[in-house]
Amino acid sequence: MDDDRPLHGVRVLDLTNVLAGPYCGYQLMLLGAEIVKIERPGDGDLARSLGPEADLNRTALGASFLAQNAGKKSVELDLKDAGDRAVFENLARDADVLLENFRAGVLDRIGYGWETLHRLNPRLIYCAISGFGQTGPMRSAPAYDQIIQGLSGMMSVTGTPDTAPLRVGFPVCDTVGGLVAALSIAAALAGRTRTGKGVFLDVSMLETSLSAMGWATSNYLVSGVEPEPMGDQNATAAPSGTFQAADGPLNIAANRQEQFETLCRLLDRPDLPADERFADREARKRNRATLNEEINTALRRRTALDWERLLAGAGVPAARILTVAQALELDQVSERGFVTDLPFPGQPRRTLRVAGNGVLVNGEPLRPPGPPPLLGEHNAEFASEVTAP
């Protein structure tokens, strides 16, 4: 399978920490790239000390690190040390991609900005992920996911009018930034086959988040309409949101007219589409609260799972609301090989489970070839470079 992966033979020097950059590197690894993780001697990636198990954090194998670094190699280099700088330059000459997520200008100040590395290796693709990008008045401001969620407007539209602003329940801005970076790198590699030259990719988490917000951003840009928090309801359609079955919540997205009519028939409420308050999409949006009450009353007759099977089977998008644990145990997820069991680094009696990325290549899931590395585990593999004067 490894030889069939689209990025087989591509080497990436990964200087990143914590999430956005490591997540990008993880996607590239799953697609076949060799990821050489350059880590600070003795400490390594900050994520090595982050996670719910204190014992793992103390051994530099925190869950946050384990989740995003399977299949990578770890080499310890101090870029302020003359010998290690020579090693790094040797690696950079042969690399296809350099990935970093420092604040803007940090690598440039220590002598490894784009212009320097481009002279060293004209084919090198340099990707810098940062909170705000490499230019602009905020370029040097510190940024974590929470900061970007707030500045992007994301938190302002999350929750209800009474509870917003709320943070999205996972580091979505880091994730989106990493995905856009991986997409950009893949595109740059494709372009290099035509031009023979590397490029500099400047990825702003603020801008990638604004882009990913879709209608929340475009409704304002196109129509001047500022989005508002609507809780579990979909601003573009009704009925579309979270409803209450006999035993718990159920998501229904009857966004098309035929889906609404099918929903009403299955709810034994064929009268609803004939009601002028609910006759078309715009009318349903104006009368959303009343319509939701009618639907919730009808849904109390069955469980959420019963409704999921009945509605989805008839072409109406509907599903229960699950916990993360329940989602990972779905037969659908298992059937496609989304989770991979790996040897736990340093603990042979323990198994490490890691997520894939939802892509099958020729029918096969993309899996890490090995576990996350111990800090400096691959120093010996690069011994000639590591000991270079």
| pLDDT tens for each residue of 156-179 | 999 999 999 999 999 999 999 999
At 385, the pLDDT band (50, 70, 90 cuts) reads low
Average pLDDT over residues 192-218: 97
**Bond before 372 cis per omega within 30 degrees:** no
* Amino acid found at 185: I
Active site residue 174: yes
What pLDDT score does 387 carry?
Answer: 46
- Inform me whether the pLDDT recorded for 102 exceeds 70: yes
Out of 84, 96, 145, 174, which one is annotated catalytic? 174
Spatial distance between the Cα atoms of 360 and 118, rounded to a whole number of angstroms: 34
pLDDT(389) > 80:
no
Whether the predicted pLDDT of 383 surpasses 80: no
Q: How far apart are CA 193 and CA 73, in angstroms?
A: 26
- Per residue in 294-322, pLDDT tens? 999 999 999 999 999 999 999 999 999 99
Angle between helices 20-30 and 172-195 (to 10 degrees): 50
- Contact between 103 and 130 under an 8 Å Cβ cutoff? The reply is yes
Angle between helices 257-266 and 304-313 (to 10 degrees): 130
| Domain ranges, ordered by start, for the chain | 2-212+339-386, 240-322
Start-to-end CA span in the chain (Å): 38
Q: What is the mean pLDDT of residues 16-38?
A: 97
CATH number of 240-322: 3.30.1540.10
Cα–Cα distance, 165 to 70 (Å, whole number): 35
pLDDT of residue 328: 97
pLDDT score at 336: 97
Q: What is the pLDDT of residues 228-240, one digit of tens each?
A: 999 999 999 999 9
Query: What's the pTM value of the predicted model, to 2 decimals?
Result: 0.93
Which amino acid would we find at residue 42? G
Q: What percent of the chain is predicted at pLDDT more than 90?
A: 94
CA–CA separation, 152 and 149 (whole Å): 5
- Going by pLDDT thresholds of 50, 70 and 90, the confidence category of residue 347 is confident
Kindly tell me if the per-residue pLDDT of 388 is higher than 70: no
Write the CB contacts of 335 (distance below 8 Å, at least 6 apart in sequence): none
Residue 386 in this model has a pLDDT that exceeds 60: no
**226 and 153 in contact (C-beta within 8 Å)?**
no
DSSP sequence for 20-41: HHHHHHHHHHHTT-EEEEEE-T
From the candidate CATH numbers 1.10.760.10, 3.40.190.150, 3.40.50.300, 3.40.50.10540, the one assigned to the domain spanning 2-212+339-386: 3.40.50.10540
**Alpha helix ranges (H) inside the chain:** 20-30, 54-58, 63-68, 82-94, 106-109, 114-120, 145-151, 172-195, 205-212, 215-223, 257-266, 281-286, 288-299, 304-313, 324-328, 331-335, 383-386
Report pLDDT for 382: 81
Query: Which residues, 6 or more positions from 60, have their beta carbon under 8 angstroms from its beta carbon?
Result: 44, 48, 49, 374, 375
Residue 346 has what pLDDT?
Answer: 86
